[in-house]
Structure 1
Amino acid sequence: MIRNLRVPALALALGALLAACGDDEGSAEYQTAYTNHQPLAVTGHPSTGSLGTVQRIVWHLADKDADALAALNTEGGDAGSEARAWIKAYGADAQGEVTADFLDEGSVRQDVVLHFTKSRRTQELTVRIGDDDTWGVVLDRPEPEPEAR
């Protein structure tokens, strides 16, 4: 009987240890953001990095968080004005349904087209691995295009 109790207790302890060790930086923050926002519809073949980055971009737009959006910029320098322009153009739209079309292969960079259902506009962007080996966005001025009918 004692032997039968040891196995579940060991499994429980090991699971707790793995959960504690596996909590990568920001994973709790990511999970919270994931549950607090509309789901992102996806087409194409994103990598884990490109998908996570595009989700964060849409969330930061929806939250109108220019600082967080600018922090994802891979091009260096102050991207605050570009982030504010993106929020002005898409902040309200990002609170609704958004579809991301992931183009080409996404191992180190990927072009993505965002489709904002509310305004029926699209925006192309490039996500890539930056100098610090983390995924981010090339944060240029937004150029909204009407959705093709």
Structure 2
Amino acid sequence: MRMLKKVPVLAAVALLLGAATTACTDDGPNRYQSDYSSHEPLHTVGYPSRGSLEIVQETVWRLADNDAEALAGLAVEEGSAADTTARNWVAAFGKAAGGKVTADFYDEGSTRQVVVLYFAASGQKKAIEVRLGQHDSWGVTLAETDPAEAAKAPDWAPATPGGSGSRSPGN
């Protein structure tokens, strides 16, 4: 009888320890909940896949947090170009990413997708590419080491989200 009383207590302790461990990890479900509740919602146009939507959302959150290191961690390929590009993007778009942002997704997103971010507070636009990388995980292409190139608006994108039917340029 005494042993039966200990089993629920041990199970409860194990459950609490597991929950505490998950809450401490950077990529646990609590991180997403915390990020989601502490940032402006991302508005979307077009047809993102689950993977492309998640990586774009995280990209905008890292910009809003002015966290170049975490943004570089989302890169498809690691390296100094990703680190430099992340710093450039944070400098150019970090402040505006804290407000209303609309992501216009072009084409289908099974392995790669071009996305134009519209920053309402500043009127800026930024075209990014997200794609599958190693181990079939989504990442963002960070290869703009020149600050002027990193801050440049795409000349092919419409002035407002959805203006071209969310298709690739030239289609």
| TM-score of Structure 1 vs Structure 2, range by shorter chain | 0.7 to 0.9
Aligned pairs, how many?
128
Equivalent residue number for residue 159 of structure 2: 148
Equivalent residue number for residue 127 of structure 2: 124
Q: Tell me the SS of whatever aligns to 2:135.
A: coil
Q: Tell me the SS of whatever aligns to 2:126.
A: strand
The C-alpha deviation readout for 1:14-41, integer Å capped at 9, x for no partner, is xx9xxx8xx8x52221111011100000
Tell me how far 1:104 sits from its aligned partner.
0.3
Tell me how far 1:75 sits from its aligned partner.
2.3
- Alignment map for 1:41-56 (pairs within 5 Å): 41-56=43-58
- Alignment map for 1:60-79 (pairs within 5 Å): 60-78=62-80, 79=82
- Alignment map for 1:1-149 (pairs within 5 Å): 25-78=27-80, 79-141=82-144, 142-145=150-153, 148=159
8 Å contact kept, 2:88–2:151: no
> CA RMSD, aligned part only?
1.9
* TM-score, scaled to structure 1: 0.79
Moved over 6 A (4+): none
8 Å contact kept, 1:127–1:135: yes
Equivalent residue number for residue 11 of structure 1: none
Tell me how far 1:86 sits from its aligned partner.
0.3
The C-alpha deviation readout for 1:43-75, integer Å capped at 9, x for no partner, is 001011100100000000000011110001112
* TM-score, scaled to structure 2: 0.69
Q: Tell me the SS of whatever aligns to 2:108.
A: coil
Q: Where does the alignment leave 5 or more consecutive residues of structure 1 unmatched?
A: 1-15
Matching residue's letter, 2:111:
V
Quick one: distance in 1 between partners of 2:121 and 2:28?
30
